Amino acid sequence: MKIHEHQAKQLMAARGIPVPLGRVARSVDEAVAAVRPLIDESGNSVVVLKAQIHAGGRGKGTFKEHPEIRGVNIITAGIEGGPSAAEERVRELAQQMLGSTLVTAQTGDEGKQVNRLYVEQGVDIARELYLAVLLDRATSRNVVMASTEGGVEIERVAEETPEKILRAEVDPAIGLASFQANELAHGLDIEGEAARNFTRFVKSLADAATELDTDLIEINPLVITTDGRVMALDGKMAFDDNALYRHPDIADMRDETEEDPAELAAKNAGLNYIKLDGTIGCLVNGAGLAMATMDTIKHVGGEPANFLDVGGGATADQVTTAFQIITADPNVKGIFVNIFGGIMRCDVIATGIVEAVERVGLEVPLVVRLEGTNVEQGKQIIEESGLKVTNADDLRDGAEKILELTA
């Protein structure tokens, strides 16, 4: 699960991790009302207005409706015109940003609608760095990553200048050790009071990652101010869904408007679904079989449109929902149902397919491979339904047949 920048900073601030002052706004009036208190409290006449979406690259992103406006805007009108001038500029920008579609390198061409903004104090920046704590699933440990290349896409740094990325593995028993934090500060060429502030910052961030069960905490940029303070100028957090039961306060931060509607519908139905870019829809029981099905489709020259695992105990209603999710994807040109019935019975799958087609119709080819528990009953249900279905003998046969029918 992902959360917004302002929520990530709220969690950091609660753990003593320095962040700039800021206020979230869901309307133009709320954005304007945040300006004067921020200027008064921070003593800085500069404020920053940030679009809040679950995607990076907002600073370089632009709005479809207003291509001249960025996702992050530094407002300097208050330097000469005072708080009223800053308020007027925030009002003008907020009116154009709220409800508009922001396109960044991570959203794709479709972009994301902006429904909330973050108004933040200006900061006098001396240096920009990159800092993240991410879960390394190969070692089952958190890893701290840092780089002098703050404000730059870390993927580009990793590809072009990997030597500029520093790493430190976090021991789950003791956390990030002081010597590791000092080595990171040295590697980033941070000295004096700023180095001491950085070591405290990075140790607290590593502790927060462990406490909150995060998959990722990313700060890009992490800034050193002109007076030696270290602050998270940006903040991104993603959490392990399986651990959310331990963090009901974080679960309440979920913004369903930022999630893919199909993936959300699948989650609510107890299904495992991930949308992909291909044209062949897959309905499979079991994660391993689902992966094998996608691999086989690619092996014979096709591209899967989704990963969809109905699990071992799915009901006919869940299968119907799964079918509806697949057919709602306009890119799907054909559907391959691949069921190996163990706990999951073939007749339940067949009933779900028939019910789904009766509800939503079937306008694309359908290939079905059933094997295992109650396979004959399942085949009989489909045959008696009168559906136009192509039967497959095995996994490869099914993949080849659906590719041929969608060619």
Give the active site residues: 130, 218
Tell me how far apart the alpha carbons of residues 345 and 119 are, in angstroms, rounded to a whole number.
54
Buried b (16+ CB within 10 A) or exposed e, 4-14: bbbbbbbbbbe
Tell me how far apart the alpha carbons of residues 276 and 334 are, in angstroms, rounded to a whole number.
14
Q: Give the closest residue to 306 by CA, choosing from 266, 365, 255, 345.
A: 266
Q: Which helix (H) or strand (E) holds 113?
A: strand 112-113
Instruction: Give yes or no for a contact between 249 and 243, defined as CB atoms under 8 angstroms apart.
Output: no
Instruction: Give yes or no for a contact between 134 and 97, defined as CB atoms under 8 angstroms apart.
Output: no
Tell me how far apart the alpha carbons of residues 224 and 205 are, in angstroms, rounded to a whole number.
16
Q: How many CB atoms lie within 10 A of CB 404?
A: 14
Instruction: Give yes or no for a contact between 208 and 217, defined as CB atoms under 8 angstroms apart.
Output: yes
What number of residues does the chain have?
407
Instruction: Give yes or no for a contact between 145 and 134, defined as CB atoms under 8 angstroms apart.
Output: yes
Q: Give the closest residue to 35 by CA, choosing from 53, 20, 22.
A: 22
Instruction: Give yes or no for a contact between 399 and 336, defined as CB atoms under 8 angstroms apart.
Output: yes
Burial class (CB within 10 angstroms; exposed 0-12, middle 13-18, buried 19+) of 397: middle
Distance of alpha carbon 385 from the chain centroid: 41
Instruction: Give yes or no for a contact between 160 and 192, defined as CB atoms under 8 angstroms apart.
Output: no
DSSP for residue 277? S
